[in-house]
């Protein structure tokens, strides 16, 4: 439950070996509340399986000896239809948030994912895989729109970042599982297993109560009290309802025109710019392109001392470890530090693998260079340490209640758009510029993100949603004063 007084929530942890020491110190274990986190994380793992499906099966299907053969152009479209589907999901997620709230919207998110897995099981041509990717992409777009809002509304300021990090790390877990299953089983059995996991989410998550914020906004005070009690049994329910009502009233608007007017206010406008910019750096910096084409990249890098599929499994597994470390650090050392460390490692990794391919084109011995692409991919996976989780965390923090659905839509839509552009242009850019210079571009983009983080991203660690709004307003006042001073 969302407590804006900064006290520790009983909303509990998902006890994993790497994060137990960090989270137990802050949150008391509660089996009922653990159900929430596990349920949302199951959905994230299911979506991670969609991403993990891509690399092994594109590598399989582009080889003529497999049961299904696709061309490189068709493979490019299969990779690109996932972020294209996210564009539709962002729209649907925003509308669903507005009318049904974050909890019901997450339930709806699982439906196109389930249908997508069914389509993939029965697919025999590239067209069947196109439909599968569009539907699962729509689920992914809805997920990124809705889940940060849901977690933001049921969690405390002290652990909000860690909880979002726990959920978002379900994606690389699913990706690793997909990378492991892909080389071993047929795509049909992959779909059956993934469908079962999605079904578990759809059977368990609807049993949870809606967030107290949604219920109070719709004047359902009795259910709101039950929701508060469920998400934090030790809270003063009456006081919680009063605090939430005050926060909602302070940010309430009634018409679409008023919302657009609220969006135009400097603090909200800057919040949109910050979140959208971080999603831009994450996607245009090569996230989907590298993950989807990783096995193919490793093959082109002439790595032979270990199989390319094994490299993908090892690298994505290390990404999970980075993600858990990020969970440990995000509410201790802040959002900005995680972004800076993450982007620094990504840029070094991209520059390194670009140099590797440049050396190959100049005739250097590939045997001596084999460790470079593996090390580069390991460094790239530091994206899981901060650049994948921090934008979603800020999305849940920077906006008033009445703008959350619009903020979720704009952020998810633009992220999906950037992901589609990045994924669809990867192969054409490789054909035009060659691999070394594509990686140099990715590295340069993430270097820009470092400077953007230092100078423009606010630090929200440990602050309540109300305190963050005050912080943004104060930043704008200081900026206005500086501009007036410069003019004088």
Between 409 and 417, residue with greater pLDDT: 417
Residue 380 has pLDDT above 90, yes or no: yes
Mean pLDDT of 433-462: 92
Residue 16 has pLDDT above 70, yes or no: no
Mean pLDDT of 214-237: 74
Split at pLDDT 50, 70, 90, the class of 248 is: low
> Lowest-confidence range among 96-105, 117-126, 223-232, 433-442?
223-232
Residue 375 has pLDDT above 50, yes or no: yes
What's the pLDDT score for residue 463?
78
Residue 246 has pLDDT above 90, yes or no: no
Q: Mean pLDDT: which of 84-93, 183-192, 443-452, 458-467 is highest? A: 443-452
Split at pLDDT 50, 70, 90, the class of 223 is: confident
Residue 365 has pLDDT above 60, yes or no: yes
Closest CA relative to residue 384, chosen from 335, 427, 323, 449:
323
Between 210 and 13, residue with greater pLDDT: 210
Phi, psi torsion values for 418, nearest 5 degrees: -65, -40
290-321 pLDDT per residue, tens = 888 888 899 889 888 888 889 989 998 998 89
Mean pLDDT of 240-265: 70
Q: What is the pTM of this model?
A: 0.70
Beta-carbon contacts of 57 under 8 Å, excluding residues fewer than 6 positions away, are 182, 187, 190
What's the pLDDT score for residue 348?
96
What's the pLDDT score for residue 353?
94
Between 279 and 163, residue with greater pLDDT: 279
Residue 334 zone, left/alpha/beta (φ > 0; ψ -120 to 50; rest): left
Residue 409 has pLDDT above 50, yes or no: yes
Closest CA relative to residue 359, chosen from 292, 439, 449, 293:
439
Mean pLDDT of 79-108: 87
Phi, psi torsion values for 268, nearest 5 degrees: -75, -40
Q: How far is CA 298 from the centre of its chain?
A: 25
What's the pLDDT score for residue 199?
94
Say how far apart CA 261 and CA 468 lie, in whole Å: 20
Domains and their CATH numbers in the chain: 28-208 (1.20.1250.20), 255-475 (1.20.1250.20)
Percent of the chain with pLDDT over 90: 30
Residue corresponding to tokens 């990020």: 326
Mean pLDDT of 450-474: 83
Split at pLDDT 50, 70, 90, the class of 254 is: low
């Amino acid at each position: 439950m969302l407590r804006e007084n900064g006290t520790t929530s009983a909303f509990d942890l998902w006890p994993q070996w790497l994060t137990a020491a960090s989270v137990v110190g802050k949150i008391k274990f509660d089996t009922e509340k653990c159900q929430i986190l596990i349920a949302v994380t199951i959905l994230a793992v299911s979506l991670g399986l969609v991403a993990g499906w891509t690399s092994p099966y594109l590598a399989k299907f582009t080889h003529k000896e497999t049961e299904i053969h696709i061309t490189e152009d068709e493979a490019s479209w299969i990779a690109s239809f996932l972020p294209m589907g996210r564009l539709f999901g962002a729209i649907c997620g925003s509308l669903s948030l507005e009318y049904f709230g974050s909890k019901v919207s997450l339930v709806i998110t699982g439906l196109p994912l389930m249908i997508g897995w069914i389509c993939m099981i029965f697919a025999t041509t590239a067209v069947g895989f196109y439909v599968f990717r569009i539907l699962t992409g729509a689920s992914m777009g809805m997920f990124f729109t809705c889940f940060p809002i849901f977690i933001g509304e049921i969690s405390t300021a002290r652990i909000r970042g860690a909880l979002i990090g726990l959920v978002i790390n379900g994606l690389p877990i699913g990706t690793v599982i997909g990378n492991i299953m892909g080389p071993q089983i047929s795509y049909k059995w992959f779909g059956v297993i993934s469908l079962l996991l999605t079904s578990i989410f759809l059977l368990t998550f609807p049993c949870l109560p809606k967030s107290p914020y949604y219920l109070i906004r719709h004047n359902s005070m009795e259910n709101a009290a039950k929701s508060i009690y469920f998400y934090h049994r030790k809270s003063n329910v009456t006081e919680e309802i009063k605090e939430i009502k005050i926060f909602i009233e302070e940010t309430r608007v009634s018409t679409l025109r008023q919302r657009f007017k609220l969006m135009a206010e400097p603090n909200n406008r800057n919040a949109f710019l910050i979140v959208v910019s971080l999603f831009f750096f994450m996607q245009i910096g090569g996230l989907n392109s590298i993950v989807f084409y990783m096995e193919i990249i490793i093959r082109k890098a002439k790595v032979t001392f270990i199989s390319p599929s094994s490299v993908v499994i090892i690298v994505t597994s290390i990404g999970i470890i980075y993600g858990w470390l990020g969970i440990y650090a995000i509410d201790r050392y802040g959002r900005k530090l995680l972004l800076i460390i993450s982007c620094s490692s990504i840029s070094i990794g991209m520059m390194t693998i670009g140099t590797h391919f440049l050396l190959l084109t100049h005739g250097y011995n590939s045997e001596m260079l084999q460790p470079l692409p593996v090390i580069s991919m390991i460094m790239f996976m530091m994206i899981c340490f901060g650049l994948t989780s921090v934008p979603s965390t800020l999305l849940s923090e920077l906006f008033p209640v009445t703008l959350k659905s619009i903020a979720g839509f704009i952020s998810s839509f633009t992220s999906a758009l950037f992901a589609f552009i990045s994924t669809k242009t990867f192969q054409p850019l490789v054909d035009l510029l060659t691999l070394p210079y594509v990686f140099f571009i990715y590295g340069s983009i993430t270097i820009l993100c470092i400077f953007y983080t230092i100078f423009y991203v606010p630090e929200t660690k440990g602050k309540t949603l109300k305190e963050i709004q005050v912080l943004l307003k104060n930043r704008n006042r200081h900026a206005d004063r500086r501009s007036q001073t410069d003019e004088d």
